């Protein structure tokens, strides 16, 4: 069927079940926006900065488990998306970013608002395309979604020259995408599954080390079954939080640089480490040679390049986490040599040992009566939302306190820029999350520094009547950097104090949102309650103890057992 | 242990595909000693890229996996793990005076090279062979006076099975 390219574009999105896209217009995409205006199926959310469009699409994708979409113009519109794309790339989040481009005849001529965005984003996308021929538009869009969604998910960028979008194209009926050069492996090798299970059965001190792959693969049920059927304690990466219930007795919380004492001790002492959809990031491993030094390592990952990249793996399983875990559970059930009761019995001393570590150094902080402790705020947020809210974070101490103290019980409820660590992620992410799940309480746990990086999105939240809550843990510092300066640079607070800041309550009000402030511990609960009862966008400004630190902390490059404790 | 590896990459001839490969190497700090690429003509829109790199085994494993992960890559073979033949070619312009011409021709002949361009003052010669052979001929011609050297990168092919 012949139709305008812009029409075909929208039909392609509909075919992918896209109902919401985030974007910002400009000359190169004005034709698309003309059609978008009339679309009945696709809601366009006008952000106030293109970076925010990408973060919002990223969080939308995480909450829904689908592909997020952003649309921007050429040149500056495109370059503004780069940080968002890089963050989605590091965290393996499926998004498709469409950029306008100058007409094909002008490409390469340094035309007005021309940048080689395909060149710029080549190293931070899973794949990208410049559509030079209108005939290829439809197939390219379908391929882009296919690549973003399948295998190890990731961002795909499609560059759309203005003349291509003004052409007529042939819209063909969709058929399954079949690419000769791209066929991810989903099914685990049965021999490797057997090897892994036989290794697990020999373990006296096993640990499950769980990353974002478990969430990407919707594998939390299979994971929980494996952990509970054999009583294997579970530790999670920042990206893995929610992959296993945080309040379960087998959960040890997060591991790594700001992980729990008992997670890091358990990994250092385990005899079998089962890594599931995790990538042995340096923030997790600390000094590599001291990471799980006594363990046989089993590694399940859909991306072969993740295996044995940083840490030599004994039993690799290249597969989708869900399929691999299901195969293992199945093997354990079918195989008579697996006496699950005996296995549980055998792990009792190990779980006891972990309990001892937990009692020695529980997650905690020094309570004070006259100043607000950030950890207390996060605990209260957990309590007053029943642990059911979707939490997004900015980056820095706020992010780590959220990870440590909001014990995530559900997958797809925690959105943070894990791999790239982008300040300014949390608020646009909260907007994306709220649009993906309108009935959920969505809270951005923020820092006073980071929130200023995308504060303009208050307009987006207000315009769309999104009851997003922002909880600023306000220490008037770029706190995480200050903490490093305190510990390793003689308290030389170079460029980290943020005394000059807006009055966040007035700022909220300037946008027509609600601003609330708490300066004493007794005000924390009333402020949160009032915020939760408001269906407007709310900023809660919690004035916290200024020089609070995040602990435990493994100094960069040290073994994860060399933790600085509270 | 660092080893030299010759890796053959079959890829789809899409715009920018070469930058994907070279960007991967520069971005991840892998080194490329030589690189040669051309359409295979065996199949439409498919090119073969041969690159020579070196690194510890774990690095080579990453290189092959990362190459394979590129969407436009069809097949990656670490040729040096197999029996293979490799060739490179050089064009060398040497100063040719009446007194040295015979000497040049003798050297070129030993290496089964050919003179491909003649001028009153120079010869351009062509030689193919393994990198070592090409280098050996260049070294012998050096005292005569080399004016210009152009070398291709290495290309390589696995040997066929000798079984009937
Ligand atoms: C875009 C960006 N720039 C710089 C950094 C480096 N950085 C990491 S944490 C941090 C401090 C963040 O301050 P704030 O948002 O107030 O959070 P706090 O640590 O105080 O909770 C900085 C500057 C970053 N992660 N992202
Ligand atoms: Mg701060």
For residue range A495-548, what is the model confidence (pLDDT) as tens digits?
999 999 999 999 999 999 999 999 999 999 999 999 999 999 999 999 999 999
Residue B162 — very low, low, confident or very high, per pLDDT cuts 50/70/90? confident
For the Cβ of A192 lying below 6 angstroms from any atom of ligand 1, the answer is no
More confident residue, B1 or A532: A532
**Cα atoms in the Cβ-side hemisphere of radius 13 Å centred on B22:** 10
**CB A150 within 8 Å of CB A141:** no
**CB A154 within 8 Å of CB A212:** no
- Give the number of whichever ligand sits closest to the CA of residue A451: 1
A337 pLDDT more than 80: no
- Chain A contact probe: residue of B23, B28, B69, B74 with most A CBs at under 10 A: B69
> Is the minimum CB–CB distance between B71 and chain A shorter than 8 Å?
yes
Measure the CA–CA gap between A282 and A418, rounded to whole angstroms.
12
Query: Over chain A, what is the mean pLDDT?
Result: 97
A564 pLDDT more than 80: yes
**What's the whole-number mean pLDDT along residues A118-136?**
98
Measure the CA–CA gap between B128 and B108, rounded to whole angstroms.
11
Query: Over chain B, what is the mean pLDDT?
Result: 95
Contact residues, chain A to chain B, C-beta under 8 Å: 118-119, 122-123, 126-127, 130, 132, 147, 179-182, 303-305, 308-309, 312
> Which of A477, A478, A459 lies closest to A468 in space, CA to CA?
A459
Measure the CA–CA gap between A90 and A476, rounded to whole angstroms.
29
**For residue range A68-111, what is the model confidence (pLDDT) as tens digits?**
999 999 999 999 999 999 999 999 999 999 999 999 999 999 99
Dihedral in degrees, nearest 10, Cα atoms A534, A539, A540, A541: -160
Q: Which pLDDT score, from 0 to 100, does residue A29 have?
A: 97
Residue A336 — very low, low, confident or very high, per pLDDT cuts 50/70/90? confident
**Sign, CA torsion A514/A430/A411/A199:** negative
- Give the number of whichever ligand sits closest to the CA of residue A450: 1
Ligand 1: nearest atom to the Cα of A451: 15
Measure the CA–CA gap between A87 and A69, rounded to whole angstroms.
15
Tokens of A286: 């600390």
With 0-12 / 13-18 / 19 or more C-beta atoms within 10 angstroms meaning exposed / middle / buried, residue A164 is: buried
Residue B1 — very low, low, confident or very high, per pLDDT cuts 50/70/90? confident
Alpha carbon distance, N-terminus to C-terminus of chain B: 37
Q: Which pLDDT score, from 0 to 100, does residue A566 have?
A: 87
Q: Which pLDDT score, from 0 to 100, does residue A74 have?
A: 98
């Amino acid at each position: 069927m012949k139709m305008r390219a812009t029409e075909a574009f929208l039909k392609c999105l509909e075919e992918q079940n896209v109902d919401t896209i985030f974007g910002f217009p400009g000359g190169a995409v004005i034709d698309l926006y003309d059609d978008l205006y009339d679309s009945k199926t696709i809601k366009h959310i006008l952000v106030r900065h293109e970076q925010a469009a990408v973060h919002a699409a990223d969080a939308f994708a995480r909450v829904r488990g689908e592909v997020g979409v952003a649309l921007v113009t050429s040149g500056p519109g495109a370059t503004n998306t780069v940080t968002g794309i890089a963050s989605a790339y590091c965290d393996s989040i499926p998004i498709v970013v469409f950029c306008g481009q100058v007409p094909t005849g002008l490409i390469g001529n340094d035309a007005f608002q021309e940048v080689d965005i395909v060149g710029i984003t080549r190293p931070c996308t899973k794949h990208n395309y410049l559509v030079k021929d209108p005939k290829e538009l439809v197939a390219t869009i379908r391929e882009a979604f296919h690549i973003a969604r399948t295998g190890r998910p990731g961002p795909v960028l499609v560059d759309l020259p203005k003349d291509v979008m003004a052409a007529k194209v042939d819209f063909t009926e969709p058929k399954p995408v079949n690419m000769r050069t791209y066929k991810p492996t989903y099914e685990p090798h049965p021999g490797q599954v057997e090897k892994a299970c036989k290794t697990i059965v020999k373990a006296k001190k096993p640990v499950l080390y769980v990353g974002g792959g478990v969430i990407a693969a919707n594998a939390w049920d299979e994971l929980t079954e494996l952990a509970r059927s054999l009583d294997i304690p579970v530790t999670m990466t920042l990206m893995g939080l929610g992959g296993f219930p945080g309040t379960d007795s087998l959960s040890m919380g997060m591991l790594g640089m700001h992980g729990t004492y008992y997670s890091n001790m358990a990994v250092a002492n385990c005899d079998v480490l089962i890594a599931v959809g995790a990538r042995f990031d340096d923030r997790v491993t600390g000094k590599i040679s001291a990471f799980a030094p006594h363990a046989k390592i089993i590694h399940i990952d859909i991306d072969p390049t993740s295996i044995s990249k940083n840490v030599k793996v004994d039993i690799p399983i290249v597969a989708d986490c869900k399929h691999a875990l299901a195969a293992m559970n199945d093997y354990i059930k079918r195989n008579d040599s697996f006496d699950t009761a005996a296995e549980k019995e055998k792990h009792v001393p190990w779980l006891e040992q972990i309990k001892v570590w937990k009692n020695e150094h529980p997650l905690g902080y020094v309570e004070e009566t006259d100043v607000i402790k950030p950890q207390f705020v996060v605990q209260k947020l957990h309590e007053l939302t029943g642990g059911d809210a979707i939490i997004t974070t900015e980056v820095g101490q706020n992010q780590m306190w959220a990870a440590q103290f909001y014990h995530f019980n559900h997958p797809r409820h925690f959105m943070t820029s894990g791999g790239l660590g982008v300040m300014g992620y949390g608020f646009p992410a909260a907007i994306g999350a709220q649009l993906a799940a309108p009935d959920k309480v969505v809270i951005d746990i923020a820092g006073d520094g980071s929130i200023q990086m995308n504060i303009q999105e208050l307009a987006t939240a207000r315009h769309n009547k999104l009851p997003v809550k922002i909880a600023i843990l306000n220490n008037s510092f770029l706190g995480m950097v200050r903490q490093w300066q305190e510990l390793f640079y003689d308290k030389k607070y170079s460029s980290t104090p943020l005394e000059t800041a807006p009055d966040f309550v007035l700022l909220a009000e300037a946008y027509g949102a609600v601003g609330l402030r708490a300066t004493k511990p007794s005000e924390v609960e009333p402020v949160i309650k009032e915020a939760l009862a408001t269906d407007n966008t709310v900023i809660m400004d919690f004035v916290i103890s200024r020089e609070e630190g995040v602990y435990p902390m493994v100094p960069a490059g040290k073994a994860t057992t060399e933790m600085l404790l509270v | 242990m660092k080893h030299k590896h010759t890796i053959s990459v079959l890829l789809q001839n899409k715009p920018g595909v070469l930058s994907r490969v070279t960007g991967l190497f520069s971005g991840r700090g892998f080194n490329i000693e030589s690189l040669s690429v051309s359409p295979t003509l065996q199949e439409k829109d498919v090119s073969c890229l041969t690159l020579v790199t070196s690194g510890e085994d774990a690095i080579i494993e990453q290189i092959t996996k990362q190459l394979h992960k590129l969407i436009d890559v069809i097949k990656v073979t670490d040729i040096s793990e197999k029996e293979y033949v490799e060739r490179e070619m050089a064009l060398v312009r040497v100063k040719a005076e009446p007194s040295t011409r015979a000497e040049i021709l003798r050297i070129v002949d030993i290496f089964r090279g050919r003179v491909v361009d003649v001028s009153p003052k120079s010869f351009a010669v062509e030689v193919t062979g393994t990198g070592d052979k090409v280098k050996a001929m260049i070294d012998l011609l050096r005292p005569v006076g080399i004016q210009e050297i152009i070398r291709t990168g290495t290309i390589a092919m696995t040997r066929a099975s000798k079984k009937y």
